[in-house]
Every structure is written in C-alpha cells, then in structure tokens.
C-alpha cells in the first residue's frame, strides 16, 4: 500500500492541473475567508468560516481529486494491472487515496490553525477534530461511489459537480440560517450535520452529548456511499 501511495504522491506533484484545481484554488478560497473573517463573523459566526474552510478543501481537494484519480487510473488500465499484483483491493484503493487524504488533512489543519490564531480558538478542539475526520471519511466514501459513475478524468468534471457544489450550499445554508427551521432536513443532507457539529465545536454553548449525535448522519452517508461503491465501482473501462 505504501509503495502505491508514494507513487501516487509523485504523480500528484507532477500534474500541475491537479495541483491547481485540487489544492491551490481551495487554499486560495480558504485564505480569503480567513483574511476577511471579521466580516463573515459579523454576518454569521467563526464556526461558519471553519465549516466553509473544511468543506471547500474536502469537496474540491479531497473528493474531486479522489474521483479524478480513480477514473484516470482506470482509463489507463493501471487499476487492472495493480490487481494482478499481490496487493489486495483494499490496499490498492487505500494506497491511491492516501496521499490526497493526508494532503487535505494537512490543509484543513493548517488553515483552521491560522483562523484560530487570528480570530480566536475553538471552544472544543477534540469535537472539531471529530467533525473534520468524519467529514473526510464521508467525502472519501462519496468519491468512491462517484468514481463508479465516472468514465474518464474529463467526465469527472461533470460527475463531481452535484456533490461538490451541494455540500458547499448545505454548509452555507446551515451556517447562515442555523437549524432552528427544517432541522431534520438540514441534518440529513450531506454535510448538514457535519457543519452543525463544526459550529458547535467552534462556537460552543451546546451539550457534548447532543453534538456527538450529529456524527450519526455523516456516518450514515459513509455506509450508503460504500454500499453504492460496492455495486458501481469498476476496475477497468467499460467496453
């Protein structure tokens, strides 16, 4: 798995388009929110900024890169060749997704650390970490499911849009309006409960037990996505 991950990491840094679309642009957007945090904090809260930062990286960095990578490796028959090696299917997928996952986690951690330094620390750091990790797992699972519907890296630009834009929209909806209205709908949508969890972790004022229950909808999306991926994912191109 580690050899596959190292090879994939080299490919990421060689591909300028992937670096631009999946890492540089999300970081630029996040930097804008952090730099203008006072304006957004007056409109909503620092927790909202943290949620937008997290999902910008998770959607456009992690999720999109996962789908594009798997579609590209399938198209070049690299996935098929890997299956002829002693590596298991789980090791192959883990190795391919490990570099982009680590890079995304480093980005989120660094940007949130800067936000905490310039605007104030979150009320509950472990809860914030749980929100970030559960979101990363959810976006990886959604990436696996979407890769099953994606025929090529070019096709990924289309297939990833609904989820990428959708989770950002849900994050803004929950972050700006709260969950006093349409509570169940907001929590069940992908990213809704995770955003509320970030708001609680950063802003405080909510009992820990109530916040931990917000992990359930996110983990449910993980289960649904993995079930879809097991049915849709292909190891070689369609003929």
pLDDT score of 76? 87
**Contact, 167 vs 59, CB < 8 A?**
yes
Would residue 237 count as lying in a domain?
A: no
CA–CA gap between residue 136 and residue 143 (Å, rounded): 10
Q: Is 189 exposed, middle or buried (0-12, 13-18, 19+ CB in 10 A)?
A: buried
Domain assignment present for residue 20? The answer is yes
Mean pLDDT computed over 115-144: 90
Report, as an integer, the average pLDDT of 33-43: 59
Q: What pLDDT score was predicted for residue 115?
A: 83
Q: State yes or no: pLDDT of 101 exceeds 70.
A: yes
State the average pLDDT over residues 75-92. Answer: 86
Residue with tokens 């190891």: 235
When pLDDT is cut at 50, 70 and 90, the band that residue 136 belongs to is very high
Residue 112 corresponds to which tokens in the numbers above?
């949130």
Q: What is residue 134's predicted lDDT score, i.e. its pLDDT? A: 93
Q: Is residue 54 part of a domain?
A: yes
Amino acid 36: pLDDT? 61
Number of domains, the chain: 1
Q: Which two tokens mark 221?
A: 């999306």
Q: Is residue 38 part of a domain?
A: yes
Q: Is residue 205 part of a domain?
A: yes
Residue 239 lies in a domain: no
pLDDT tens sequence across 152-185: 888 888 999 999 999 999 998 998 888 888 889 9
**pLDDT score of 239:** 61
Residue 238 lies inside a defined structural domain of this protein: no
Evaluate whether residue 73 is within a structural domain: yes
Range of the domain at 153: 2-232
CB atoms within 10 A of CB 204: 13
* 176 and 48 Cβ atoms separated by less than 8 Å: yes
- Residue 30 vs residue 101, higher pLDDT: 101
Which pLDDT band, with edges at 50, 70 and 90, does 23 fall under? Answer: low
User: Of how many residues is the chain composed?
Assistant: 239
What burial letters (b/e) apply to 99-121, b meaning 16+ CB within 10 Å? bbbebbbebbeebbebbbeebee
pLDDT for residue 17 is more than 60: yes
For residue 140, the model assigns a pLDDT of: 93
Distance between CA atoms of residues 168 and 178, nearest Å: 15
């Amino acid at each position: 798995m580690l050899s596959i991950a190292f090879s994939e990491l080299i490919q990421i840094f060689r591909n300028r388009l992937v670096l631009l679309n999946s890492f540089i642009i999300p970081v630029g957007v996040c930097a804008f929110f952090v730099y203008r945090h006072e304006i957004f904090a007056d409109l909503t809260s620092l927790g909202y900024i943290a949620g937008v930062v997290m999902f910008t990286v998770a959607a456009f960095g992690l999720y999109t890169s996962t789908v594009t990578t798997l579609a590209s490796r399938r198209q070049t028959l690299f996935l098929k060749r890997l299956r002829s090696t002693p590596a298991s299917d789980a090791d192959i997928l883990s190795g391919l997704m490990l570099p982009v996952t680590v890079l995304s986690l480093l980005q989120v951690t660094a940007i949130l650390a800067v936000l905490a330094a310039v605007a104030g620390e979150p009320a509950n750091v472990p809860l914030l970490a749980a929100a970030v990790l559960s979101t990363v797992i959810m976006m990886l699972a959604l990436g696996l499911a979407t890769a099953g519907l994606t025929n090529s890296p070019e096709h990924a630009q289309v297939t990833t849009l609904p989820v990428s834009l959708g989770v950002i929209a849900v994050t803004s909806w929950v972050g700006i309006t709260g969950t006093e209205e349409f509570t169940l709908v907001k929590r069940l949508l992908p990213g809704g409960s995770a955003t509320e969890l970030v708001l609680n972790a950063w802003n405080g004022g909510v009992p820990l037990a109530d916040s931990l229950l917000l992990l359930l909808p996110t983990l449910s999306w993980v289960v649904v996505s993995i079930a879809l991926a097991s049915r849709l994912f292909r190891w070689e191109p369609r003929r």
